[in-house]
Structure 1
Amino acid sequence: MAKPTGGKFYVPYQETYINKVNSDTVTDIVKDYSAQIATFYNALPEAKADYAYAPGKWTIKDVIQHVVDAERIFAYRLLRIARKDKTPLPGFEENDYAVTAGASARTLSSLKEEFNAVRTSTDLLLLSLTEAQLDCTGFTSGVEVTANTIAYVLYGHLLHHKEILEQRYL
């Protein structure tokens, strides 16, 4: 299944995430990005765990909790769609999740452990899917998407937050 293009099966804001991924297939995404993403997030320094680059912005712990929560949601959507579940899936408000997640009460090491577990689980799911399953469509936030598109958005989202952490936090 090739990288989504031309705005079919995704909304405009998702194109930003999709364009961050320079792999031709979902298998290639996992091969090309999984290790570098894990290395980066696992190297985030404990000394900066509670750092936010401006008042009202998330801390590094908040960002990690956010990418974990978002990945779980993306993986759930992808699974439902790949299994031909046509039940429309609602959106989610990331800021509401961040307020109630309680990342500040956690250690950075516990967040990294959860991050690694979720990442491994998602990659195993992605590698288990056939081309036909990746081509299945469903509705999220009122928009028709393919399971394949969600895989690109999921990885693009991880890369997006990696860039923000590099530019504003480290």
Structure 2
Amino acid sequence: MTRKELQSGEYNSYYDHYLNLVPESASIDTILQSSLEDTIRFINKIDKPFDTTYATGKWSIGEVLMHNIDTERVFAYRALRFMRGDQTPLPGFDQDVFAQDYSNYAFAKADLINSFKATRNATIDLFKSITAKQLISRGVASESPMSVRVIPFLIAGHNKHHENVIRERYLS
């Protein structure tokens, strides 16, 4: 299936921006791997220190990248719960609470790449053996319905969004 096949009832319209950063022709079978490769290339090209911010009170480059990793972990957990048929509504998560702990990280490029790879490979593995029934499973997260099949595209689009932010605000 491709991103174009997603229906608006499968996710909250809040996520439209992220999903629109993924080509409509992107396949659920390949989007996570291609996004992984794109992100690693992107991180490797960053030539500024990862503690660089573009304004006071804004996250550093490293914190933005950690945010992407944490967000993927949250969305993969949602996918797992929905795939397994757990209909317990899942709460949202406060990205700023997560980021409070980021100040303890040194944000070495190699460490961030390794963490990103480990997280993404676990997500790829989760989706590798998914059944057709699991793929169309739905649950509720952040008080909105969400299908399992939207999650890989959402993860890739969220990554792309923050890579664009880093390009535009930190590297220009």
Counterparts of 1:2 and 1:108, CA distance in 2: 32
Asked if the contact 1:88–1:142 (Cα under 8 Å) also holds between the matched residues in 2, the reply is yes
Structure 2 vs 1, CA of residues 123 and 38 (structure 1 numbering), >3 Å: closer, same or farther? farther
Counterpart of 2:27 in structure 1: which amino acid? T
Counterpart of 2:129 in structure 1: which amino acid? S
CA drift of 1:19 comes to: 1.0
Q: Percent identity?
A: 34
Gaps of 5+ in 1: none
Counterparts of 1:135 and 1:2, CA distance in 2: 13
CA drift of 1:31 comes to: 4.8
Counterparts of 1:85 and 1:106, CA distance in 2: 35
Asked if the contact 1:9–1:143 (Cα under 8 Å) also holds between the matched residues in 2, the reply is no
CA drift of 1:36 comes to: 1.4
SS in 2 for 1:8: helix
SS in 1 for 2:46: coil
Counterparts of 1:130 and 1:71, CA distance in 2: 21
CA drift of 1:6 comes to: 4.7
Equivalence for 1:44: 46
Structure 2 vs 1, CA of residues 81 and 113 (structure 1 numbering), >3 Å: closer, same or farther? same
Counterparts of 1:124 and 1:5, CA distance in 2: 22
Counterparts of 1:33 and 1:61, CA distance in 2: 18
Counterparts of 1:65 and 1:82, CA distance in 2: 26
Counterpart of 2:137 in structure 1: which amino acid? C
CA drift of 1:14 comes to: 0.4
Q: TM-score, normalised by structure 2?
A: 0.88
SS in 2 for 1:26: coil
Asked if the contact 1:88–1:138 (Cα under 8 Å) also holds between the matched residues in 2, the reply is yes
Runs of 4+ in 1 over 6 A off after TM superposition: none
- Give 1:65-144 correspondences, 5 Å limit: 65-144=66-145
Q: TM-score, normalised by structure 1?
A: 0.89
Structure 2 vs 1, CA of residues 163 and 78 (structure 1 numbering), >3 Å: closer, same or farther? same
Equivalence for 2:16: 15
Gaps of 5+ in 2: none
CA drift of 1:92 comes to: 0.4
CA drift of 1:61 comes to: 1.0
SS in 2 for 1:54: coil
SS in 1 for 2:158: helix
Counterparts of 2:45 and 2:118, CA distance in 1: 16
CA drift of 1:147 comes to: 0.5
